[in-house]
Amino acid sequence: MPKILPLTCKVFFVLSLSIALAAPIAASSFVAKELIYGAERQFKRLVGIPPTPRSIIEMFNIHAGSTRILREEITSYDPKIPKHSLRQFMSPPKNQGESNSCVSFASIAALERFNPGIRLSEGQIAKLANIESEGVCAPDGIMNLGVGMNYVRDKGVVEEKYWGFNDSNVCLVEEPSNFQRLRKFNFRSVHPLLDRDDGNVVPFMRQHLRDGRIPKLTTPALDDGDLSNIRFTLLRDVPVVVEIPIASADGVMVSGWEDGRKGVKLPPIKSIESWLSDSENASMPYHAITLVGYDDTTGSFEFKNHWWDKERKAWWGNGGYSTIPYEYIKYYARLSLYGTIPGIG
């Protein structure tokens, strides 16, 4: 203790001095963040304290604009951490209503995680992303996940108070007159974890249809690249946006998609038959969700959805969240992406 105490006092002095120097600087300033962060890391290193999951940046409530809000000590998926959730960092749920704007809502959910307290515009993506990529606005807001996420990266999104959302026709919402001058929030880059098309997903469906069952993943299959990369990303507190087909039978959602309260289950064989039929007509119905956690003990991901349950008059699932089996993502996800913000590699 006598050897540690003077060193501890010295580092606390450095920490206090850094905070004092940073205080007069705006909270969003890069210099302020780096002063506090540097002192924190120096303190831990010198006194031998292991890295903690959360940074002092969050303790000081400085705007989330650097990698310091992440778990930097995590460098790979660790099976010794069998369960993790970042739900506490996610923004409140939203409702896509009658539109097909799931990509806009899932992308914004991922972006809002890095901008706490700021509500961003799904309406802007739903209207402008298709115009950027296809030259025309789709009234229901439907688009490919890559189109939506890349639009957020390239163009940025304003706050929803400036650009609202119309679930009956996203094209009807007018662009704000001062749109060009408004602050835009964006991803610095967008990275794929799964990047497949129907041609990669359909073989799984055909095999499962022939076998009459969906095989359960077991170790070491659980540790394959696809699932491990997703869990690693979530372990660093970065949401992952995924595009998957919804299980239905005779036009009605099944397998837990009805209300989400007991989790989404693997689809019945009848749903797989329907998916294959739709894929032949290039009309397979994909839905975008935001993964926010994983649990190896149950073999499932936690995800945020964007539906309002009219019958229950409550958010779909449990406050807007539910779970989905690893197998559902492994076999049937067409695309999964995550976005980084300035300062996060």
Condensed to tens digits (0 to 9), the pLDDT of residues 108-159 reads: 999 999 999 999 999 999 999 989 988 999 999 999 999 999 999 999 999 9
**Mean local confidence (pLDDT), 167-190:** 95
pLDDT surpasses 70 at 38: no
Do residues 98 and 192 share a domain? yes
Full domain range(s) for residue 228: 85-340
Which residue is listed with tokens 């990266």? 153
**Mean local confidence (pLDDT), 299-320:** 96
Mark 153-163 as b/e (b = at least 16 C-beta within 10 Å).
beebbbbbebb
Do residues 189 and 298 share a domain? yes
DSSP at 30: H
Do residues 20 and 115 share a domain? no
User: Tokens at residue 186, please?
Assistant: 């964006």
> Which residues fall within 8 angstroms of residue 82, CB to CB, at 6 or more apart?
295, 296, 297
**Mean local confidence (pLDDT), 15-35:** 44
Quick check: is 75 in a domain? no
**Mean local confidence (pLDDT), 30-44:** 49
Quick check: is 74 in a domain? no
CATH number for 304: 3.90.70.10
Using DSSP, state whether 27 is helix, strand or coil: coil
**Mean local confidence (pLDDT), 53-74:** 39
Do residues 207 and 118 share a domain? yes
Quick check: is 147 in a domain? yes
CB neighbourhood size of 164 (10 A)? 14
- Number of structural domains (the chain) is 2
Helix (H) / strand (E) containing 323: strand 321-325
Quick check: is 216 in a domain? yes
**Contact 339/190 with Cβ under 8 angstroms?**
yes
Do residues 110 and 207 share a domain? yes
Do residues 59 and 28 share a domain? yes
Do residues 52 and 92 share a domain? no
Do residues 211 and 254 share a domain? yes
Report residue 252's pLDDT band, with 50, 70 and 90 as the boundaries: confident
Using DSSP, state whether 159 is helix, strand or coil: strand
Do residues 136 and 52 share a domain? no
How does pLDDT run across 200-226, given as a tens digit for each residue?
Answer: 889 999 999 999 999 998 865 666 778
Averaged confidence pLDDT in the chain:
81
Do residues 160 and 233 share a domain? yes
Quick check: is 77 in a domain? no
Do residues 32 and 107 share a domain? no
Which range has the worst mean pLDDT, 67-71, 172-176, 266-270?
67-71
Quick check: is 80 in a domain? no
CA distances from 28 to 64, 152, 185, 340 (A): 8, 21, 14, 18
Quick check: is 76 in a domain? no
Do residues 203 and 102 share a domain? yes
Residue 63 pLDDT: 32
Residue 46 pLDDT: 62
DSSP at 305: -
**Mean local confidence (pLDDT), 229-238:** 92
